[in-house]
Amino acid sequence: MIALADLYQGFRDPKVIRSLAQQISHYASQVEGKINIMEVCGGHTHTIMKYGLNQLLPSNIEFIHGPGCPVCIMPKERIDHAATLASQPDTILVTLGDMIRVPGSKGSLAQFRAKGCDIRPIYDPLDTLTIAADNPDKTIIFFAIGFETSTPMTAVLIDQASQRGINNLLFHINHVLVPPAIDAVMSDPLVKVNAFIGPAHVSVISGAKIYRQAVETYSTPVVVSGFEPVDVMQSILMLVKQKAEQRAELENQYSRSVSENGNQTAQALIDKYLTIRPEFRWRGLGPIENSALMLKPEYAHLDAERVYANVLPQVEIDDHKACQCGDILRGLCKPKDCKVFGRGCSPDTPLGSCMVSSEGACNAYYRYNGVNL
Amino acid sequence: MNSVTNDKVIQLSHGGGGKEMNRLIKEIFFNAFDNAILRKEEDAAVLHFDGNVAFTTDSFTVAPIFFAGGDIGKLAVAGTVNDLAMMGAEPQFLSCSVIIEEGFEITKLKTIVASMATELKKSNTRIVCGDTKVVPKGCVDGLFINTSGVGQIIKPDVSVRNLEAGDCIIVSRDIGRHGAAILMAREGLTLESELTSDCANLWPIVEQLIAANVEVHAMRDATRGGMSAVLNEWAKASNVCIEVKEDAVPVSDEVKGLCELYGFEPFDLANEGTFIVAVPADNAEKALNVMQQFCHCQTASIIGQVTEQQNNQGKVILQTPWGSARYLDVPQGELLPRIC
Amino acid sequence: MCLSIPSKVVELHPDEQAVTVDTMGVKRKVSSHLLAEPLALDDYVLIHIGFVMNKIDKADAMESLALYKEIVSKLEQQEREA
């Protein structure tokens, strides 16, 4: 029998981390050249920063923080969409947590809320049902964000609204997909990334299989990892071993929660309502084909993008010319190499995606750079 | 004559300066806060001091008004009393201004005033002047309270600028309880737990520290911004580096659970009866012994020290149990659940 | 979108497709719409924005923890010998 506490403490045990660090060093010394590991998921970036795991690794292992934070990769025109929708009369815009902090071209949703727009950050998408039922004379718009992890929750919300006969709820879908983002990073001929830590909870939903193609196409190892520091250290060990043995395979460190095929119920719900969007612009990476989802044509009447098509701004808004987030996300340069880093661009006034949230590479460097620990 | 208790809710007339207002003030506030200075009903209270006096003010707008472990009334007294106590001043006199929303239930107001009275007794503090305003529905959220406080300084030279290399940093109890309790009580996060706010009057414990002659360099209650804010202010104001051992900081399981669920850091959560004190290393044991005699401070712990790191002056460094270190930053922006 | 912490199922609400879970003493009602098979009391689950995402495989977790123990004792032995 395993106690719940073991699931926290066992996977955070300092002794285990120290032992794993030793083994990583041992195998890394057998690898020629650098091991540039990209963690695609913001949750892993957070673990690496919070536990200081990068400080425990040998110098030939480097992390490249990937495009894995759904808030950071949102282009400004999509945030402008949210602001425009929130500014419509008799409208309530509902969205998840810290989305409301990110500035669009005319300010953040928090600033629009201060101007009088009814914008409600929620934690649980199903709370939207209560808001819709309590405000029958208003239009509620759910601004849906997130990777594969958060997509099924939106699908449940659509499903529940229809079952409960709620007809004042619309959706603005911004769900994005991990595999096309990996392709976008790897397709650059100069790319330095040569190993991936696969997202944890994206994989709980979609299954480990979604990385198989990337492993084969780019001959790059991928290890699906849990979020605890021991998980991440063990995954790094697995990657380094693959490198030392010159293998490139898909391995699953997080087998207590991730299966090959993922959560089928969740996938079926997504397939019922959503379909692949031909193209989506990622902040920092630019347009990527088939990299996001949208409502199926038969649900067009629920799609805020179509219902409000004539008021939503269609102009694409690029980041500052000097911003080098794209290169940083591909591991081609470091935040310090960017001309605007720390000058025009800081966590208070982010010019590019990597500075937006605490999981972004530039944000982390801004706060931790110059640390003499 | 009608009694105010016949009314069920506050009406605009209760702030109109006439009979109704008089009844409200006499029956509810004077009854609870009764003392000779207040009873004189002059335009201003006349006070007498010898020596230096500390003076502070704070407004309380907590939502919800009632939470596990306290209410806005307890908070309004404890908060201002604690600000005085943290300066080594005896909290002697408070003012009390209340802005009430039309339609506020009078039974609730009575409960709030009663908890203010209870909290005042703990530090022998008196409310000597006050004001009541009633505003139309929707202009405030239930009720706001402002309290200002004055008190004679008994222990001089307690200051954010007085930290010295070698000082021990002590926290009085497990951190983050008030912030966590309020978040749990908020709509939207429908949570249940045994957790209560740490809201408490800190003068009794500070009085004992002073009586035991503990040499206090700096002392501050870790309210909004939590422990992170206090330590960063100290590090900057005294131009020193503060190193904290992460696993030495007491945190209750429930606060940890909430932080895990929503991506908060216990160091950033607010407290209302938890303070941090910097003392020379040879005074640390003595301080701990005094603090741990109080039941809410049995988990008082030395969490770190002030060091002479030349290149980290003004910074707070967290030493993790995993052999790494990171800066402990001041929390930024609205406290929102982290989603990635 | 990666905040998620193991929690224990402590109450079942099959009519509402929901369960109550406990995370270190904090209890919360969450949706079980995304699970095909029913949950049981004392199951460990991952929660993400108000939903159960999956059931944690306890046997698998125990295997990992046993492996870590082995790794640690190996290292300690090496250090003793060194």
CATH number of the domain encompassing residue B174: 3.90.650.10
Q: Are residues B145 and B263 in the same domain?
A: no
Using beta carbons and an 8 Å cutoff, which residues of C are at the interface with A? 1-8, 22, 24, 31, 33-36, 44, 46, 48-51, 53-54, 56-58, 60-62, 64-65, 68, 71-72, 74-75
Chain-centre distance for alpha carbon B143? 18
What is the per-residue pLDDT for C3?
Answer: 63
Q: Do A265 and C36 touch (CB under 8 A)?
A: yes
Range of the domain at C47: 6-81
Distance from CA of A104 to the nearest CA of C (A): 20
Measured CA distances, B187 to A91, B194, B316 (Å): 21, 17, 34
Residue contact C33–A42, C-beta within 8 A: no
Statement to judge: residues B237 and B307 lie in one domain: yes
In one letter, which amino acid is B297? C
Q: Are residues B190 and B301 in the same domain?
A: yes
> Which band of pLDDT confidence, cut at 50, 70 and 90, is reported for residue B4?
low
Same domain, B232 and B274: yes
Q: Are residues B132 and B201 in the same domain?
A: no
> Which residues in chain B are contacts of C28 at CB distance < 8 A?
189-192, 261
Q: Identify which of A151, A182, A216, A183 has the alpha carbon closest to the alpha carbon of residue A68.
A: A182
Supply φ then ψ for residue B127, to 5 degrees.
Answer: -90, 120
Query: In whole angstroms, what is the distance from residue C28 CA to residue C21 CA?
Result: 6
Residue B189's pLDDT is 65
With CB atoms and an 8 Å threshold, state whether C72 touches A199: no
DSSP state of B43: S
Are B34 and B58 members of one domain?
Answer: yes
Share of chain B above pLDDT 90, in %: 77
For C67, phi and psi rounded to 5 degrees? -60, -40
CB-closest option in C3, C26, C27 to B339: C3
- Beta strand C51-55 pairing with C44-48: antiparallel
B226: left (phi over 0), alpha (psi -120 to 50) or beta: left
Q: Do C8 and A4 touch (CB under 8 A)?
A: yes
Per-residue pLDDT of chain A (373 residues; tens, 9 = 90+): 888 888 888 999 999 999 999 999 999 999 999 999 999 988 898 888 888 898 999 999 999 988 888 888 889 999 999 999 999 999 999 998 778 888 889 999 999 999 999 999 998 999 999 999 999 999 999 999 999 999 999 999 999 999 999 999 999 999 999 999 999 999 988 888 999 999 999 999 999 999 999 999 999 999 999 999 999 999 999 999 999 999 999 999 999 999 999 999 999 999 999 999 999 999 888 999 999 999 999 999 999 999 999 999 989 998 888 888 888 887 788 888 899 998 888 887 888 888 887 777 888 778 765 454 4
User: What values do phi and psi take at A122, rounded to 5?
Assistant: -125, 165
Please indicate, yes or no, whether residues B176 and B323 belong to a single structural domain of this protein.
Answer: yes
So what's the pLDDT on residue C63?
A: 95
Q: Select from B243, B244, B296, B246 the least CA-distant residue to B274.
A: B296
Domain boundary among B152, B181, B198: B152
Q: Tell me which residue has tokens 């219902």.
A: A307
**Sheet containing strand A61-65, strands side by side:** A61-65, A35-39, A195-198, A222-224, A250-252
Picking from B127, B152, B177, the residue at the C-terminal end of a domain is: B152
Counting residues of chain B whose pLDDT is more than 70, the rounded percentage is: 95
Q: For A260, what's the count of Cα atoms within 13 Å in the CB-facing half-sphere?
A: 2
Top-confidence range, A319-323, B47-51, B65-69, B116-120: B116-120
Mutate to test the interface with C, among B182, B183, B192, B262 (most CBs of C within 10 A): B192
Band (B192; pLDDT cuts 50, 70, 90):
confident
Q: How many domains does chain B have?
A: 2
Do B172 and B320 have their domain in common?
A: yes
B253, C27: Cβ pair inside 8 Å? no
Query: Alpha-carbon Rg of chain B, whole angstroms?
Result: 21
Contact flag C46-A257 (C-beta cutoff 8 Å)? yes
Q: Do C61 and A150 touch (CB under 8 A)?
A: no
pLDDT of A21 reads 95
The answer to whether C5 faces chain B, any CB pair under 8 Å, is: yes
Shortest CB distance from C50 goes to which of A23, A123, A265?
Answer: A123
Whether A198 contacts chain C with CB within 8 A:
no
Interface test with B, best of C26, C31, C51, C52 (most B CBs within 10 A): C26
Residue C64 is assigned to a structural domain of this protein: yes
Task: Note the pTM of the prediction, 2 decimals.
Answer: 0.89
Cβ pair A359:B340 closer than 8 A: yes
Spatial distance between the Cα atoms of A240 and A237, rounded to a whole number of angstroms: 5
Do residues B181 and B323 share a domain?
yes
Nearest residue, CB atoms, A51 vs list B324, B329, B336: B324
Looking at the fold, whether B66 and B111 belong to one and the same domain comes out as yes
A50 shares contact with chain C (CB less than 8 Å): no
Q: What is the CATH number of the domain that holds C22?
A: 2.30.30.140
> In this complex, do C34 and A152 lie within 8 Å of one another by their Cβ atoms?
yes
Q: What is the count of structural domains for chain C?
A: 1
Domains of chain A: 4-68+188-252 (3.40.50.11750), 76-177+262-307 (3.40.50.11740), 325-367 (no CATH)
Q: Which residue from C2, C24, C47 is facing B253, i.e. has the nearest CB? A: C24
CA angle C74-C78-C82, nearest 5°?
170
- At C7, list the tokens: 């929690």
Q: What residues of chain B have any CB closer than 8 angstroms to a CB in chain A?
A: 188-189, 260, 262-263, 309, 311-312, 317, 320-327, 329, 332-334, 336-340
Residue B211 lies in a domain: yes
Distance set, CA A147 to CA A74, A186, A271, C52 (Å): 11, 19, 15, 16
Inter-chain CB proximity A52 and B334 less than 8 Å? no
Q: For A170-174, A249-253, B15-19, B135-139, which range has the lowest pLDDT when averaged over its residues?
A: B15-19
Torsion, CA B340, CA C2, CA C8, CA C10, rounded to 10: 50
Q: Does residue B335 fall inside a structural domain? A: no
What average pLDDT does the segment B124-133 reach?
96
Element (H or E) spanning A119, and its range? strand A118-122
Q: Which residue of C has its CA nearest to B184?
A: C26
Does a structural domain hold residue B332?
Answer: no
Question: Would residue B292 count as lying in a domain?
Answer: yes
Per the domain annotation, does B309 fall within a domain? yes
User: pLDDT at position B340, please?
Assistant: 44
B266 contacts on A by Cβ (under 8 Å): none
Q: Is C4's pLDDT higher than 80?
A: no
Residue A72's alpha-carbon distances to A42, A67, A100, A352, A354, in angstroms, are 10, 8, 12, 8, 7
- pLDDT tens digits for range B225-245: 999 999 999 999 999 999 999
For CA atoms A82, A85, A89, A91, the dihedral sign is negative
Burial class (CB in 10 A: 0-12, 13-18, 19+), A365: buried
Q: Which residues of A touch C75 (CB under 8 A)?
A: 18-19, 22
As a whole number, mean pLDDT of residues B283-296 equals 96
* Alpha-carbon gap, residue A143 to B5, rounded angstroms: 48
Is the residue at C1 inside a domain? no
Q: Which residues of B touch A68 (CB under 8 A)?
A: 340
Average pLDDT over residues B115-134: 96
Residue-number span of the structural domain to which B255 is assigned? 168-327
The answer to whether the Cβ–Cβ distance between C2 and B340 falls below 8 Å is yes
Q: Which residue, B125, B152, B179, sits at the end of a domain?
A: B152
Q: Which residue of A8, A123, A153 is the best one to mutate when testing the C interface, meaning the one whose CB has the most C CBs within 10 A?
A: A153
Residues C56 and A258: beta-carbon distance below 8 Å: no
Lowest mean pLDDT among A100-114, A347-361, B65-79, B168-182: A347-361
pLDDT per residue over B97-112, tens digit each?
Answer: 999 999 999 999 999 9
| Residue partners of B69: CB distance under 8 A and separation at least 6 | B177, B178, B181, B196, B197, B198, B199
In the block, residue with structure tokens 């650059």: A188
B270 pLDDT band (50/70/90 cuts)? very high
Size of interface B-C (CB pairs under 8 A): 48
Q: Select the residue from B255, B260, B336 to test the C interface by mutation, using most C Cβ atoms within 10 A.
A: B260
Main-chain dihedrals φ then ψ at residue C61, nearest 5 degrees: -60, -40
Q: Do C28 and B190 touch (CB under 8 A)?
A: yes
| C13 interfaces chain B, CB cutoff of 8 Å | no
Strand, helix or coil for residue B29: helix
Helix (H, G, I), strand (E, B) or coil at A121: strand
Distance from CA of A310 to the nearest CA of B (A): 31
Percentage helix, strand, coil for chain B under 3-state DSSP, each rounded to 5: 35, 25, 40
CATH number for position B72: 3.30.1330.10
pLDDT at B116: 98
Q: How does DSSP assign B292-310, residue by residue?
A: HTSGGGTT-EEEEEEE--G
Search chain B and give the residue with CA nearest A100. B336
User: Coil, strand or helix: which one is B338?
Assistant: coil
Residue B262's pLDDT band (cuts 50, 70, 90):
confident
Shared domain for B148 and B174, answered yes or no, is: no
Q: How far is B151 from chain C (nearest CA, A)?
A: 40
Q: With CA atoms as reference, report the closest residue to A352 among A344, B253, B280.
A: A344
Exposure letters B261-281 (e unless 16+ CB within 10 A, then b): bbbbbbbbbbbbbbbbbbbbe
| C36–B contact, CB cutoff 8 A | no
Cβ-contact C58, C44 below 8 angstroms: yes
pLDDT at B276 over 90: yes
CB contact under 8 A, A52 and B325: yes
Question: Which residues, numbered 244 to 263 in chain A, qualify as contacts with chain C under a Cβ-Cβ cut-off of 8 Å?
Answer: 255-257, 263
Does one domain contain both B34 and B148?
A: yes
* pLDDT score of C2 more than 60: no
